[in-house]
Structure 1
Amino acid sequence: MMTRWLRHVREGCKNVVRNGWMSFAALSAVIVTLAVLGFSLILTFNVQQMSNSVTGQLEFSAFLNVNASEKQGEQVAQEIRALPGVASVQVISKNEGLQQMKQELGQELSDVLNAFKQNPLPIQIVVKPQDPHQIDRLAKEVSEIPGVAAVRDPHKLAAAIFRTLAVVRDIGIVFVVGLVITSMFLISNTIRMTIFHRRREIEIMKLVGATNWFIRWPFIIEGMIIGLIGSVIPVALLVYGYRSLYVKAKGVFSGLAFPLVQASQIEVKLAVILIAMGLLIGMWGGVITVRRFLRV
């Protein structure tokens, strides 16, 4: 059995070398496909981490009536804490809100607020949901609590984040699927050429009693070899490139406060996914070709 499999692997390697430029074209297509897929995965992992960081900070504010007392503010805050899906509730008193606004406006504009005899700001309650996707539902429930005059609508910000992530994901999937199909087509043509050049040898093997799978396996392994080599190269390049980028960027997005995914967390996932995809693309391309063009 071992001798037979070694023979299949040896014949598969010979086929790759024998086909020359066709093998190179198929290999190049696999490398480009998996390089794009790997880059997309790295981008997806980091965008997902950034998304989790952003959505994890999503919160909304509920404003009470201007005449509401501090005691009423605490009562409303207790009702909000009792709602399902609430992670935290922070009460910002009228005085605290006024001080924050003065700091935001600066010294010159803050003098305008000092002209008011009474504090014009309402009590503000900042609510953070456990699940960012439930922020709209929670905001609606808070708005129905007696004493709440207004709720700052968080829908636009949350919807924009989730919509952007969905668009990026869908575009990446379509692009990668197209490249995978192209790679399989080139591998299929490469193996088809091998079958054409060896048609007389295949006929002789059939005449001497070779089984169908004995003839088929070298061609399938040829496709897997192309897929394997085509996956190892982009894995090495992407791992080296990302590790260098991570060190140079000091672990954070350029100009932003969001951390990059650690290189050690990406490398194993990237290698497993790309090598598995390379073998799958090569094997599938070989199987399709054998079934269509090798009549044994």
Structure 2
Amino acid sequence: MIRRFFRHLIESLKSLKRNGWMTIAAVSSVMITLSLVAIFASVIANTIKLSDDIQNSVRVVVYMRKDIQDQSEQIEKDGQMVSNENYHKVYDALTAMKHVDKADFSSKEDQYNKLIKTAGNNWKIFDGDANPLYDAYYVEATAPKYVKQVSADAKKIEGVSEVKDGGVDTQRLFALGTFIRNWGLIGVGLLIFIAVFLISNTIRITIISRSREIKIMRLVGAKNGYIRAPFLLEGAWIGLLGALVPSILVFYVYNLVYTSMSNNLADQNLFLYSPHLLIPTMVGGLFGLGILIGAIGSSISMRRFLKI
């Protein structure tokens, strides 16, 4: 059994060499198709990840009334410091709600400083009690789909002045993320189907050019499995060789793209897949996919066109 396998393996390598130009054509077809699959899959994978990051970063902003000091245990009243009866009332109500992961407090002073940092010193026109901003809580839901429900429940809490969750834009963002995820996977699947179709047709030409050789093998009594095995291995070799260039392309191009884009995205708390994670996965997938579709393409051609 093992001896027969190595015999077929050696025969498949000889066939690749003997059919030089046809082998080059088949390998080129695999190489171009797998390059497209690699590029499209890398783009779709990172687009889905960025979409998920954006969705997960959507927070409900709960603004409190001016007269509510939720984070102060004591407040000044009539010139004296007294216990604050409203201490943590809003916070406790928020964290007790269903589907709330956490709530982070942001004072009006913190928000004012962020405004200065992002918009510039031209906004330095307020000081102390003149600050028109509100204390707020940034509430994160346990999942993006619960943002609207958390927003609706937060509006019912006493002491809350306004609640913002992005409204229509948030729903559009979620819809876009779902669209990219679903159609991206369909697109990758379609490319793989096209790859099998192109490769099977290319290998078909190779097999037809050797139909006389196959007929002779059948006349001398060779079984179908014995005839088919070298062609399956040849298809696998074609897929393996065709995956080399796309793998090198993924390695160099993705490292370049990651280096050039990661810093800008990090400023917005967005991240691409790390090259240490994506490249080995992609390269392994390309070689596995190349071998698989090469063998499948060869099998389809043998069955459909030679009636073996």
Q: TM-score, normalised by structure 1?
A: 0.80
The alignment status of 1:58 with 2:70, answered yes or no, reads no
Aligned to 1:36: 36
Secondary structure of 2:262's aligned partner: coil
Aligned to 1:134: 146
Aligned to 1:265: 277
The alignment status of 1:243 with 2:243, answered yes or no, reads no
- Asked if 1 retains the 8 angstrom alpha-carbon contact of 2:58 and 2:165, the reply is no
Cα deviation for residue 212 of structure 1 reads 1.1
Q: TM-score, normalised by structure 2?
A: 0.77
Residues 190-212 of structure 1: CA deviation (Å, up to 9, x unaligned): 33334333333323322332111
Aligned to 1:252: 262
Residue 98 of structure 2, aligned match among 84, 91, 111: 84
Cα deviation for residue 76 of structure 1 reads 1.6
Residue 280 of structure 1, aligned match among 268, 280, 292: 292
For the structure 1 residues 170 and 85, does the alpha-carbon distance in structure 2 shift closer, same or farther, using more than 3 Å as the test? closer
Structure-1 separation of matches of 2:87 and 2:169:
26
- Which region of structure 1 is more displaced relative to structure 2, 120-129 or 251-260? 251-260
Cα deviation for residue 292 of structure 1 reads 0.8
Where do residues 162-241 of structure 1 align in structure 2 (5 Å cutoff)? Answer: 162-169=174-181, 172-173=184-185, 175-241=187-253
Where do residues 12-51 of structure 1 align in structure 2 (5 Å cutoff)? Answer: 12-51=12-51
Structure-2 separation of matches of 1:27 and 1:292:
21
Cα deviation for residue 27 of structure 1 reads 1.8
For the structure 1 residues 12 and 270, does the alpha-carbon distance in structure 2 shift closer, same or farther, using more than 3 Å as the test? same
Amino acid at match of 1:29: S
- Asked if 1 retains the 8 angstrom alpha-carbon contact of 2:116 and 2:124, the reply is yes
Cα deviation for residue 214 of structure 1 reads 0.5
- Asked if 2 retains the 8 angstrom alpha-carbon contact of 1:23 and 1:190, the reply is no
For the structure 1 residues 182 and 88, does the alpha-carbon distance in structure 2 shift closer, same or farther, using more than 3 Å as the test? closer
Aligned to 1:75: 89
Cα deviation for residue 57 of structure 1 reads 3.2
Structure-2 separation of matches of 1:11 and 1:46:
42
- Asked if 2 retains the 8 angstrom alpha-carbon contact of 1:92 and 1:125, the reply is yes
Structure-1 separation of matches of 2:130 and 2:254:
57
Structure-1 separation of matches of 2:224 and 2:113:
83
Cα deviation for residue 180 of structure 1 reads 3.1
Identical-pair percentage: 30
Amino acid at match of 2:36: V
Structure-2 separation of matches of 1:228 and 1:163:
39
For the structure 1 residues 203 and 152, does the alpha-carbon distance in structure 2 shift closer, same or farther, using more than 3 Å as the test? same
Aligned to 2:171: 159
For the structure 1 residues 89 and 193, does the alpha-carbon distance in structure 2 shift closer, same or farther, using more than 3 Å as the test? closer
Amino acid at match of 2:95: R
Cα deviation for residue 78 of structure 1 reads 0.6
Cα deviation for residue 82 of structure 1 reads 1.0
Structure-1 separation of matches of 2:287 and 2:214:
31
